[in-house]
């Protein structure tokens, strides 16, 4: 940095110091060093994201930290990153996730670690950091989708964009909360800056710019603070334009997604990013779903949550569970609502045994007649129950915005269906670890005896409601992406599911998978 630049920076900081609220002046007083922990955290983040960081050194550093190792392995094994195997070592995780993703995880962990130093009102700070992580994930995913040369730079920019807010929160929580009220209630940018200035003496971004200068943060981040004007709805034409568009655009999208914003504001934020990136509608929609999902897994691995985001998503919870199948309406789970428990059947009288060719042909015709993947899955469940002799069949799908969440969607052969559906629902990482291993498979699994499963891998509610003995469980996939699973069993016998039933299931399952992928445009 040249002496003239240093002099300019010093003059800039000197100019805001007397105007700054008295409680915040220590932030820009170099002699007081009031935030050494936060400052050193920024430097650690930048070091990990820099060119000197390589896969071997990063894996070695992570392996020495037990807590960080657990975080990285948790993300690596989440469905959001679609592993078809269990990853148990840090080098494997680094190889699977990619260097930029693991660097981002380590950077996020450094920031989260500082929560222990916040004296009061930790929840507000935890939410602020969680939003920063979600914004950073969106920025990184957009960067990879558009071929940005350094997606990790985008992650760092979005992550550290809130550094001014964190510094204010650390120094005076009451001022931080008052600034939050301004940002949430005043929508005009100019009026927002005016109110911030009245409260703390300068705007939030002006203070962030001063801190970035003091802490020697990257010039591209300082430029973001220097130009707070809105993003035009136009295609990004240069590297700097793209950097600012992705970082600021991702932050603003997450702000409206996690706040009481109208639907029009959310659509406008998405449209700004789509036009700027030049992505067509389908790929952009899929990218937004993936970014939200991966962001949630990152937040969860850090022990954080965004309550407002969960509330916003819960209203469309049922719809999202099935929208993991791209661009299709949700399954209408009317089948089975009043379904009585079926009496024991005569196995030899099932249609697949009495009329095998006619049954298979009717099933294939039903699949071909399905107009969308959701209708197809309904046909599959009905056929398994009606034609193949399985007493109980359950369908559960992943939530599109949070692939750690399994949602029971349809049950046949059980009455009342509600408790069966609820017991199929839950967190894969915390409640349904067995189903998590099933979703990583490509083929179906015949479970001879559920009592042999390792304790704690099955949700207790599932065990109590279904009382499973032997069953077939299979992952549903669109392409390589898991979208849910099928469970089917017999309640009239405690014996393992016979091999001929498993063969029939595989035949129906293979046909369904083929047509499902055709409908989704994969084949």
Tokens of residue 342, six digits: 């079926």
**Residue range 495-501: average pLDDT?**
89
**Which residue shows structure tokens 């849910």?**
484
3-state SS class at 512: helix
Please tell me the distance from the alpha carbon of residue 209 to that of residue 213, in angstroms, as a whole number.
6
Q: Note whether residue 94 is domain-resident.
A: yes
> Which of residues 294, 315, 336 is at a domain's end?
315
**Residue range 394-407: average pLDDT?**
93
Of 52-61, 165-174, 379-388, 402-411, give the lowest mean pLDDT range.
52-61
**Residue range 287-295: average pLDDT?**
93
3-state SS class at 398: strand
Which percentage of the chain shows pLDDT scores above 90? 40
| Average pLDDT in the chain | 83
| 192 and 219 co-located in one domain | yes
Q: What share of the chain is helix, strand, coil (3-state, %, to 5)?
A: 60, 10, 30
Distant-in-sequence, close-in-space partners of 39: CB < 8 Å, separation ≥ 6: 33, 214, 215
Q: Note whether residue 299 is domain-resident.
A: yes
**Which residue shows structure tokens 């960080």?**
68
Tokens of residue 57, six digits: 């050194």
| 302 and 374 co-located in one domain | no
pLDDT at res. 492: 75
- Quick one: DSSP state of residue 477? E
Positive or negative CA dihedral for 286, 292, 297, 302? positive
Pick 48 or 510 by higher pLDDT: 510
pLDDT at res. 334: 36
> Which of residues 315, 346, 373 is at a domain's end?
315
**Residue range 296-313: average pLDDT?**
78
| 360 and 253 co-located in one domain | no
Tens digit of each residue's pLDDT (9 = 90 or more) over 464-483 = 999 999 999 999 999 888 99
Of 48-52, 391-395, 440-444, give the lowest mean pLDDT range.
48-52
φ and ψ of 392, to 5 deg: -130, 135
| 301 and 398 co-located in one domain | no
Residue 130 CA from chain centroid, whole number: 12
Tens digit of each residue's pLDDT (9 = 90 or more) over 60-90 = 888 888 888 998 898 899 998 877 778 889 9
**Residue range 192-213: average pLDDT?**
91
Please tell me the distance from the alpha carbon of residue 159 to that of residue 48, in angstroms, as a whole number.
13
Please tell me the distance from the alpha carbon of residue 41 to that of residue 170, in angstroms, as a whole number.
14
| 182 and 43 co-located in one domain | yes
Using CB atoms within 10 Å of the CB of residue 237, give its burial: 0 to 12 exposed, 13 to 18 middle, 19+ buried.
Answer: exposed
Please tell me the distance from the alpha carbon of residue 407 to that of residue 399, in angstroms, as a whole number.
7
pLDDT surpasses 50 at 36: yes
Which of 5, 25, 9, 6 lies closest to 202, judged by CA? 25
- Quick one: DSSP state of residue 217? -
Range of the domain at 418: 321-519
Q: Note whether residue 330 is domain-resident.
A: yes
> Which of residues 287, 315, 343 is at a domain's end?
315
Identity of the highest mean pLDDT range in 304-313, 343-352, 496-505: 496-505
Q: Note whether residue 20 is domain-resident.
A: no
Please tell me the distance from the alpha carbon of residue 75 to that of residue 301, in angstroms, as a whole number.
7
Please tell me the distance from the alpha carbon of residue 140 to that of residue 108, in angstroms, as a whole number.
13
Q: Note whether residue 255 is domain-resident.
A: yes
| 254 and 233 co-located in one domain | yes
**Residue range 229-247: average pLDDT?**
88
Tens digit of each residue's pLDDT (9 = 90 or more) over 318-372 = 444 434 343 333 444 433 333 334 445 555 678 888 898 999 999 999 999 998 8
Which of 448, 468, 409, 402 lies closest to 429, judged by CA? 402
CATH code at 300? 1.10.3210.10
At residue 117 the predicted structure's pLDDT band, cuts being 50, 70 and 90, is low
Q: Note whether residue 260 is domain-resident.
A: yes
pLDDT at res. 338: 34
- Quick one: DSSP state of residue 279? -
| 229 and 247 co-located in one domain | yes
| 281 and 423 co-located in one domain | no
Total-model pTM:
0.82
Pick 184 or 340 by higher pLDDT: 184
Please tell me the distance from the alpha carbon of residue 59 to that of residue 93, in angstroms, as a whole number.
9
| 221 and 262 co-located in one domain | yes
What H or E segment, with its residue span, contains residue 412?
Answer: strand 402-412
3 state SS for 416-430 = CHHHHHHHHCEECCC
Domains contained in the chain, number: 2
pLDDT at res. 316: 44
| 404 and 484 co-located in one domain | yes
| 279 and 332 co-located in one domain | no
Please tell me the distance from the alpha carbon of residue 256 to that of residue 242, in angstroms, as a whole number.
21
Q: Note whether residue 449 is domain-resident.
A: yes
Please tell me the distance from the alpha carbon of residue 272 to that of residue 232, in angstroms, as a whole number.
7
CATH code at 457? 3.30.450.40
Please tell me the distance from the alpha carbon of residue 380 to that of residue 395, in angstroms, as a whole number.
10
Please tell me the distance from the alpha carbon of residue 443 to that of residue 517, in angstroms, as a whole number.
15
Distant-in-sequence, close-in-space partners of 392: CB < 8 Å, separation ≥ 6: 385, 411, 412, 413, 414, 420, 466, 487, 488, 489, 490, 491
Q: Note whether residue 6 is domain-resident.
A: no
At residue 34 the predicted structure's pLDDT band, cuts being 50, 70 and 90, is low
| 75 and 173 co-located in one domain | yes
φ and ψ of 443, to 5 deg: -105, 170
pLDDT surpasses 60 at 317: no
């Amino acid at each position: 940095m040249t002496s003239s630049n240093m002099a300019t920076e010093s003059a800039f900081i000197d100019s805001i110091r007397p105007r700054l609220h008295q409680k915040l002046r220590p932030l820009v007083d170099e002699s007081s060093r009031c935030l050494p922990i936060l400052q050193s955290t920024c430097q650690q983040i930048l070091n990990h994201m820099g060119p000197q960081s390589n896969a071997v050194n990063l894996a070695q550093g992570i392996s020495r930290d037990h807590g960080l190792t657990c975080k990285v392995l948790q993300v690596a094994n989440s469905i959001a990153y679609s592993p078809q195997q269990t990853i148990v070592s840090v080098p494997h995780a680094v190889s699977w996730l990619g260097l930029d993703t693991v660097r981002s995880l380590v950077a996020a962990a450094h920031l989260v670690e500082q929560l222990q130093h916040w004296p009061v009102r930790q929840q507000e700070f935890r939410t602020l950091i969680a939003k920063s992580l979600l914004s950073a994930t969106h920025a990184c995913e957009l960067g990879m989708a558009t071929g940005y040369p350094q997606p990790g730079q985008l992650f760092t920019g979005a992550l550290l964009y809130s550094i001014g807010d964190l510094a204010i929160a650390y120094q005076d929580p009451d001022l931080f909360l008052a600034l939050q009220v301004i940002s949430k209630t005043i929508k005009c940018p100019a009026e927002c800056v005016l109110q911030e200035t009245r409260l703390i003496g300068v705007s939030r971004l002006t203070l962030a710019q001063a801190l970035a200068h003091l802490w020697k943060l990257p010039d591209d981040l300082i430029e973001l603070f220097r130009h707070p004007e809105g993003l035009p709805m136009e295609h990004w034409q240069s590297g700097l334009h793209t950097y600012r568009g992705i970082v600021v655009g991702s932050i603003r999208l997450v702000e409206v997604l996690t706040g009481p914003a109208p639907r029009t504001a959310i659509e406008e934020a998405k449209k700004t990013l789509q036009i700027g990136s030049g992505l067509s509608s389908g790929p952009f929609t899929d990218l937004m779903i993936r970014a939200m999902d991966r962001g949630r897994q990152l937040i969860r691995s850090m022990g954080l949550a965004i309550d407002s985001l969960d509330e916003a998503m819960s209203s469309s919870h049922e719809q999202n569970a099935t929208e993991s199948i791209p661009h299709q309406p949700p399954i209408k789970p009317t089948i089975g609502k009043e379904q009585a428990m079926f009496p024991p059947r005569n196995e030899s009288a099932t249609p697949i045994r009495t009329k095998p060719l006619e049954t298979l042909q009717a099933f294939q015709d039903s699949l071909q007649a399905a107009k969308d993947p959701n209708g197809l899955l309904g046909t599959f469940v009905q056929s398994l129950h009606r034609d193949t002799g399985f007493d109980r069949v359950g369908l559960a799908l992943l939530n599109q915005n949070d692939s750690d969440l399994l949602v029971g969607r349809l049950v046949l052969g059980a009455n009342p269906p509600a408790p069966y559906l609820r017991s199929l629902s839950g967190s894969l990482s915390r409640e349904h670890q067995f189903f998590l291993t099933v979703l990583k498979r490509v083929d179906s699994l015949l479970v001879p005896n559920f009592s042999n499963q390792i304790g704690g891998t099955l949700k207790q509610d599932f065990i109590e409601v279904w009382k499973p003995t032997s069953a077939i469980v299979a992952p549903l996939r669109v392409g390589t992406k898991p979208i849910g699973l099928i469970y089917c069993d017999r309640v009239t016998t405690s014996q393992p599911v016979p091999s001929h039933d498993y063969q029939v299931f595989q035949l129906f399952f293979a046909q369904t998978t083929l047509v499902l992928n055709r409908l989704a445009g994969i084949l």
